[in-house]
Chain A
Amino acid sequence: MKRLLLLAILLPAVVPAADFNGFVREFSRQTGAHQLYIPFFGLARFVVAVAHPAGTSDLKLAVFEHVSNRPLDFALTADRLAHGEGWNRIVRVRNRNGEFTNIYTRRDGNHLRLMVATLDGEDATFVELRIQPEQLMKFVDEHDGKHHLTD
């Protein structure tokens, strides 16, 4: 019984969602870039799945090195792939030094999924988060006490 319980807790952290994997595989196929293995990342996912920091219940990460895409091509590739998976791009930040960041969002039942796609030189990173919006807003409100437009 204990083993079953442990498996039930660990399984969501160990088994990655198919859509993110598919996205990452397709990006790798289209750009020829190789995904980097990150040791102990499963443990980090397990901690997130259990502790839910700032309302985050799932974390996925894929890092690529030696991405030969030009920044704009990277952004267009990411946009195309994301759009096919039902993501909406809400933010795009482009830097002339070759940095590019796109932020996408998608509904997942009572949760919100956020995906951040970043290109920094030849390194591309994709992060996907599953967030409980109410807890995230509470976290943002609690940690934002500095900005007041008065004077």
Chain B
Amino acid sequence: MLLDVQALQVGLRAPGGQIRPIVRAAGFTVGRGEALALVGESGSGKSLTALALVRLFGANGLDPRLVAAGRAWLRTRSGERVDLLSLGDAELLAIRGREIGLIAQDPMSALNPVMRVIDQIVEARQRHLDETAAQSAGQARRLLADAGFGDPDRVARCYPHQLSGGMRQRAMIAIALAAQPRLLIADEPTTALDAAVQWQVIDTLLRLRAQQGLSILFISHDLGVVSRIADRIAVMYGGQVVECGPAQEVLLRPAHPYTAALIDSLPRMTPEATLPRPIPDIPADPLNPPPGCAFHPRCAHARPGACTTQVPGPTDLYAGRMVRCHHPQGRPEERAHG
């Protein structure tokens, strides 16, 4: 197992000092060469979960009020098992870029606007690899070709503003993979792109996975995109992973009513005009979730009792398929009752 996240919590430190949880009990694993998609709506905690793994918040990160707890075991290339959440700053610097690459939704804010693409690749390699700058520059061409550029030499000389949105995102992939990390965290990497360009980026990631055994933690709200890239899917709602399993299983036979509702809310390409079915109400406020199951106010299957009072614990439907629901869908006894 390359990454094993257990009971990850992310909280917001309030002015009084107490910590208000946003992500509670997120757990999942990513194997070598595997693509896990973390799916959820705004506020579900999916991006915070990803940022927690590279600790891009806290004392020297995005928001000093955010704190993370739990365990996130990463198998490094030296074979060592390290807990990302308990590493010191210096150790983290050795992990970021070298063991874990990160691409964000908006490449424009992640790329350095005043550096040519090649210099950003060289910088990333020089930080981690024992090679000369000339050697790093030589590798830039290959990395850009791997990211799907037919003319890597030209792109290498470009500044970010000279590239289109899809090209920027692929340049970002080349930079994120410059020091050959084995895990790539991709946070909504295609959300801002057109369908055709989205496909180029997904295609690039799929190819890198096949060729280099890259593991991918793919964060997205778009089930269409996710269905193309993910081997497994973890669905997040209200700061918890509410369902996890093989992608085809989760998408075709969702066990959690939220997963089912999310799938139904997608517009479909059917010849008959069919309106997608909205999920009533608005997503749970992660800082202030309803009691019991966070989804119960929006759930068609919620009943008074457990749903409204008890947070459902994780249930294994079978090996590798987890659901947090008092009334999971699709079980034999549920079907028998019609």
Task: Determine if chain A interacts with chain B.
Answer: no
Give chain A's interface residues, CB within 8 Å of chain B.
none
Give chain B's interface residues, CB within 8 Å of chain A.
none
